[in-house]
């Protein structure tokens, strides 16, 4: 994306605005992780996009909300001994998560209108950025669709809907992050050259294979995130709390015990956790190889490659620790947030090897 007719100050303002929205998505992800891990996600049984932004203002409001929660399967089957104070604790997590989502919409929409009215955001970029607003709305709707699945009979949200909700958050973050990078530093057209050849003026000319490998890593990290959602959806992290083996096995014998076969990939703790581990092992092999190639073909990305390797080590350590300690809340939430940091770094280095210098 180029901005030959856009002042540099305007480009920076647009990029900073998109980066700020990315930061808010990241914060919302953290709050959402805490909401899920504290089992607070089913505490608000209605979706009121506007009125719901107001918290309970008096004792009568609290009693009304608590009475509605007492009608849910979660209260009847799990929290029947919960008092008002306990309800207030889980309520605030879910309310904060929803409020954070609303604030993202506000922080996104108001500057968008401002840039449009002033003619600073136009053409293809204006439509592309508007697409993020639509995607954000779909993300909110998917969140409620997910919550509804836990308000019927079984007080547990659908794994499919949880994965979709988390996946949309990462798509929204990734789209805005990539676009913001493009506003600051346009990308050059992909060279058809199949091998690396030095160029003048310090311009990165990374081989087609390395660029494709980078694209594969973006997709693989995203798939890893979805597999992590499936792990969370059935609490598979509470089983096989050993590493590197799973209770003494590379692949537990019960991995494919469910019928039909595809059920194992969503509903079987052994299979779901094995898949998540396998993707992690693949990333641990491919990312260092990718960084080695990038550092050789584009020395300007040396530091960014080292940061990516360092964060990969941190993220893997967080995952292993979360597993061995049987999913402590704050550590598990940090691991989920770390996945978005890893995703951002993989996007960043992919953009860097395609940009103009």
List the domain boundaries for the chain.
Answer: 1-186, 188-357
Question: Which pLDDT value is given to residue 49?
Answer: 83
- Residues 179-220 pLDDT 10s: 999 998 765 444 444 433 333 223 357 899 999 999 999 999
With a pLDDT cut of 70, the percent of the chain lying above it is 92
163 pLDDT tier (thresholds 50, 70, 90):
very high
| Residues counted in the chain | 357
pTM (2 decimals)?
Answer: 0.91
50 pLDDT tier (thresholds 50, 70, 90):
confident
Question: Which pLDDT value is given to residue 354?
Answer: 86
Distance, in Å, from the CA atom of 143 to the CA atom of 246, rounded to the nearest integer, reads 32
Rounded to an integer, the average pLDDT of 295-305 is: 92
């Amino acid at each position: 994306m180029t901005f030959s007719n856009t002042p540099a100050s305007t480009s920076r303002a647009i990029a900073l605005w998109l980066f700020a929205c990315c930061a808010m998505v990241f914060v919302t992800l953290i709050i959402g992780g805490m909401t899920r891990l504290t089992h607070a996600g089913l505490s608000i049984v209605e979706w009121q996009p506007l009125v719901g932004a107001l918290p309970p203002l008096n004792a009568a409001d609290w009693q009304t909300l608590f009475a509605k929660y007492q009608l849910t399967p979660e209260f009847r089957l799990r929290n029947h001994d919960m008092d008002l104070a306990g309800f207030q604790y889980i309520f605030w997590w879910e309310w904060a998560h929803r409020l954070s989502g609303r604030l993202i919409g506000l922080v996104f929409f108001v500057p968008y209108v401002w840039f449009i009215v002033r003619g600073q955001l136009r053409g293809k970029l204006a439509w592309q950025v508007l697409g993020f607003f639509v995607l954000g709305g779909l993300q909110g709707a998917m969140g409620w669709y997910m919550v509804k699945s836990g308000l019927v009979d079984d007080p547990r949200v659908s794994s499919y809907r949880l994965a979709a909700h988390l996946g949309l958050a990462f798509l929204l973050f990734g789209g805005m992050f990539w676009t913001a990078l493009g506003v600051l530093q346009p990308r050059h057209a992909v060279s058809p050259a199949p091998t690396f050849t030095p160029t003048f003026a310090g311009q990165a000319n990374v081989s087609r294979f390395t660029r494709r490998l980078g694209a594969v890593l973006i997709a693989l990290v995203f798939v890893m995130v979805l597999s992590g959602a499936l792990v969370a959806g059935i609490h598979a992290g509470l089983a096989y709390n050993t590493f590197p083996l799973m209770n003494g096995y590379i692949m537990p014998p019960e991995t494919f015990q469910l019928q039909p076969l595809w059920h194992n990939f969503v509903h079987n703790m052994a299979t779901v956790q094995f898949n998540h581990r396998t993707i992690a092992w693949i990333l641990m092999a491919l990312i260092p190889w990718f960084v080695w190639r990038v550092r050789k073909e584009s020395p300007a990305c040396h530091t960014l490659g080292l940061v990516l390797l360092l964060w990969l080590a941190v993220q893997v350590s967080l995952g292993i620790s979360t597993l061995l300690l049987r999913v402590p809340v704050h550590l598990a939430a940090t691991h989920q947030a770390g996945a978005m940091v890893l995703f951002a770094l993989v996007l960043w280095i992919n953009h860097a090897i395609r940009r103009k210098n």
